Structure formats: C-alpha cells, structure tokens
Amino acid sequence: MSRNIGLTSSSLFQLLPVTATWSLPFTLYSLLLSGRVVKIRVDNEQWSGDRLQSIPISSSSASLQSDPLHQCISAHRNFLENVPYALILAGLAEINGADKKYPSMAMATLFALRIAHSEAGLLGKDAIANGRPVGYFGTQAWLAGVAAYSAYLVRGYWGY
C-alpha cells in the first residue's frame, strides 16, 4: 500500500483563488496579443525583427507608429512587462489576508487598464490614442496601490 508524502489535495485549502481565477483572462489576452504578432509576421513573411521591411525606416517616430508589427510587438511587450509583476503583487496581498473582494476588484481594474492601454492606445490611431496614457498611468497607480496595500496587511510584523 502506498502512502501520500507531502502535501495532498485532500489536505490543502485553495491557495490564492482570486489570483488563480484572474490568471485565465490575463493568459487568454496575452495569447491574443501574441497571436496578432504572429499573424502579421506570417502575412508579411517576416520572421524576425520588430519592424516591417515594407515600411521605410526614417528618423521620425511616425513611421514606427504606423507600423502594425511594431505596434503589436509594443502592445505585447508592455503587457508582459506589467502583468506578471501585478499577479505577484495581487498574490502577495491575497496570501497575507486581503479580503477576497479587494484583489478581485483590483484584478478587474487592471484587466480593463491593460486592455485600454493596448486596444484603445497602442493599437489605436498613430499609437497615441487616449487609452495609452490611461492604461499606463492607471497601471502604475495600480502597482503602487496594491504594493502599499500588501505592506499595510503585514504591518503587524514590523510592530505597527
């Protein structure tokens, strides 16, 4: 007869259910952003680089803003720069006793901000649509707010 050694599912409570739940929509959106890059590469038979060869390189940023490959890569890169860190911060808040509704609302807000940044910002007209600053500054405020909330949750550890 075999014995279970270590942690088994029957002895575990759900760890980080809010963060785990929100990992699905964030992953699906990341796959969408990645798929857009791949589609442009396949359609243009350009397998490397971050700019389409059919668009002349100039010193102005206007050429980059009208390059769909560059726009899609930027949207995907910006998403990957912020979301993993945000999931870690949300997980830290959740594991340190946050009321489940706060991380849930925070993750919904972040998801909306990241979509605004990409769909209504970087992928908008000339890559400078209104969603870009809303998404950027909103995400930065979100990161600072959730980090501060996590620190607040563990204040007793430091004697406060």
Q: Is residue 3 part of a domain?
A: no
Q: DSSP E strands: which ranges in 2-153? A: none
Contacts of 36 (CB under 8 A, 6+ apart): 72, 75, 76
Picking from 14, 48, 31, the residue whose alpha carbon sits closest to that of residue 83 is 31
148-153 — which CB contacts under 8 Å span 24+ positions?
149/93, 149/98, 149/102, 150/89, 150/92, 150/93, 150/96, 150/98, 153/93, 153/96, 153/97, 153/98
Residue 159's φ and ψ, nearest 5 degrees, are 90, 20
What's the confidence (pLDDT) of residue 2?
55
Q: Is residue 9 part of a domain?
A: no
What's the confidence (pLDDT) of residue 101?
96
pTM summary value: 0.83
Residue 86's CATH number: 1.20.120.550
Cα–Cα distance between 99 and 113 in angstroms, integer?
Answer: 22
pLDDT by 10s per residue, the chain, length 160: 555 555 555 545 688 999 999 999 999 999 999 999 999 999 988 887 777 766 666 555 555 567 898 899 999 999 999 999 999 999 999 999 999 999 999 999 999 999 999 999 888 777 778 999 999 999 999 999 999 999 999 999 988 8
Q: Is residue 146 part of a domain?
A: yes
Q: Is residue 159 part of a domain?
A: no
Cα–Cα distance between 56 and 41 in angstroms, integer?
Answer: 17
User: Cβ(128)–Cβ(134) under 8 Å?
Assistant: no
Cα–Cα distance between 76 and 118 in angstroms, integer?
Answer: 8
Q: Is residue 115 part of a domain?
A: yes
Number of domains in the chain: 1
User: Cβ(99)–Cβ(49) under 8 Å?
Assistant: no
What's the confidence (pLDDT) of residue 32?
98
What's the confidence (pLDDT) of residue 129?
84
* Domain region containing 132: 17-44+61-153
Q: Is residue 52 part of a domain?
A: no
Q: Which residue matches tokens 């963060």?
A: 19
What is the CB neighbour count within 10 angstroms for residue 66?
A: 14
Q: Is residue 128 part of a domain?
A: yes
Q: Is residue 53 part of a domain?
A: no
